[in-house]
Amino acid sequence: MAIKNTVTTLFEMKERGEKISQLTCYDYTTACLIEKAGINTVLVGDSLGMTMQGYDTTLPVTMEEMIVYGRSVVRGCPSAFVIMDMPFMSYQCSVDEAVRNAGRLIKETNANAVKLEGGATVVEQIRAISGAGIPVCAHIGMTPQSVNAFGGFKVQGKGEENARKVFEDAIAVCEAGAFMCVLECIPPKLASLISSKVNMITIGIGASSNCDGQVLVYQDMLGMSQKIAPKFAKVFANVGDIMVQAFKDYDEEVKNMTYPAECHTYVKSDCDDEFLAKLVNESK
Ligand code: KIV
């Protein structure tokens, strides 16, 4: 029986200086494989708008869509700690709406925590959601839901003024009750400062190894993405190329009839010729 990763076990890992692994996931089959690999935490990211739905940004993703993907992931993750992303406009309008939507994500998927983007501007939401007993992962630095405000997916926290803003955001979300915080696309020294001075688990993406853990979008790390991957996205295995080759081989074998072969058919349970002839006669 798998032992569940929890807020407590994850904090214990931080205290021991043991790094925490996190991957995004959006479906049951991949969740089972990620679970089998022993990854500590899984993020059902709103990046699914781009990786699973083909949009250019995460902005169109809805609560209903998050719930459908999230449920499938949770069923495949008996031990990984599952975090549900709160989609664009599910928490920005009011604190009440944020708590209601965070509650829905937990009740309807059985996940373990929610994640929302933003620093000082969302502290009331973080306070209220964690006050309702739902662990909150914050997300600061490059926050993809603000792509239009940033003018693109750009590195944040560069220069003294911007570094101060990101650091103050980290302190603000921690004081509001966030137990974990994604640091996206910020410089290494700033990531190190936040990870050492702030009492929450930092998960880096494009933020160096100076964080308590790392997250990657699984299609990026498996070389499955057809778009230009960001600099930080190391390809650990070219699964995309393997899939394309397998699809090509299948296409060829279907067309030249080498697939299905006898070993793929139910020869033993087949009817005899006499019976089949009788069937034809009966249908006349
Ligand atoms: O939506 C997502 O997948 C994310 C990660 C990239 C951190 O926010």
The predicted-structure confidence for 111-158, as pLDDT tens digits, reads as follows: 999 999 999 999 999 999 999 999 999 999 999 999 999 988 888 889
| pLDDT attached to residue 132 | 98
Ligand 1 nearest atom to the CA of residue 43, by list position? 3
Percent of all residues in the chain with a pLDDT value above 70, rounded to a whole number: 100
Q: What separation in Å is there between the alpha carbon of 129 and the centre of ligand 1? A: 20
pLDDT confidence of 280, banded at 50, 70, 90? very high
What does the pLDDT read at residue 227?
A: 83
What does pLDDT average to over the chain?
96
Per-residue pLDDT, 70: 98
Check residue 81 and give its pLDDT.
Answer: 98
Q: Given this model, what pLDDT does residue 284 score?
A: 86
3-state secondary structure the chain: CCCCCCHHHHHHHHHHCCCEEEEECCCHHHHHHHHHCCCCEEEECCCHHHHCCCCCCCCCCCHHHHHHHHHHHHHCCCCCEEEEECCCCCCCCCHHHHHHHHHHHHHHHCCCEEEEEECHHHHHHHHHHHHCCCCEEEEEECCHHHHHHHCCCCCCCCHHHHHHHHHHHHHHHHHHCCCEEEEECCCHHHHHHHHHHCCCEEEEECCCCCCCEEEECHHHHCCCCCCCCCCCCCCCCCHHHHHHHHHHHHHHHHHHCCCCCHHHCCCCCCCCHHHHHHHHHHCC
pLDDT score at 196: 96
CA of 132 to the centre of ligand 1 (A): 24
pLDDT tens, position by position, 58-97: 999 999 999 999 999 999 999 999 999 999 999 999 999 9
Looking at residue 145, its pLDDT comes to 96
Neighbours of 29 (CB within 10 A): 10
Instruction: Give me the pLDDT at residue 156, please.
Output: 87
Report field, pTM of the whole predicted structure over 0.85: yes
Average pLDDT over residues 255-277: 92
In this prediction, residues 233-248 reach a mean pLDDT of 97
Q: Which of 146-160, 184-198, 213-227, 237-251 has the lowest mean pLDDT?
A: 146-160
CA-nearest residue, atom 5 of ligand 1 = 45
Percent of the chain with pLDDT over 90: 91
Nearest CA to ligand 1 atom 2: 45
Banded pLDDT at 226 (limits 50, 70, 90): confident
CA of 211 to the centre of ligand 1 (A): 16
CA 274 from centroid of its chain's CA atoms: 57
Burial 152-172 (b: 16+ CB within 10 A, else e): eeebbbeeeebbebbbebbbb
Tell me: the pLDDT tens digits for 15-54? 999 999 999 999 999 999 999 999 999 999 999 999 999 9
User: Which whole number is the average pLDDT over 96-103?
Assistant: 98
pLDDT of 1 above 80: no
Closest listed residue to residue 216, CA positions, set 37, 54, 75, 63: 37
Residue 2 pLDDT > 80: no
Number of neighbouring beta carbons within 10 Å of residue 65: 17
Question: Which atom of ligand 1 lies at the shortest distance from residue 115's CA?
Answer: 8
Which residue minimizes the CA distance to atom 8 of ligand 1?
45
Pocket of ligand 1 (CB under 6 A): 24, 43, 45-47, 85, 139, 182, 184, 205, 215, 217
Catalytic residues: 184
Hey, what are 231's tokens?
Answer: 């600099």
pLDDT of residue 269: 81
Distance 47 CA to ligand 1 centre (A): 6
Dmax over CA atoms of the chain, in Å, equals 88
By most ligand atoms within 8 Å of CB, the mutation choice from 217, 218, 220, 232 for ligand 1 is: 217
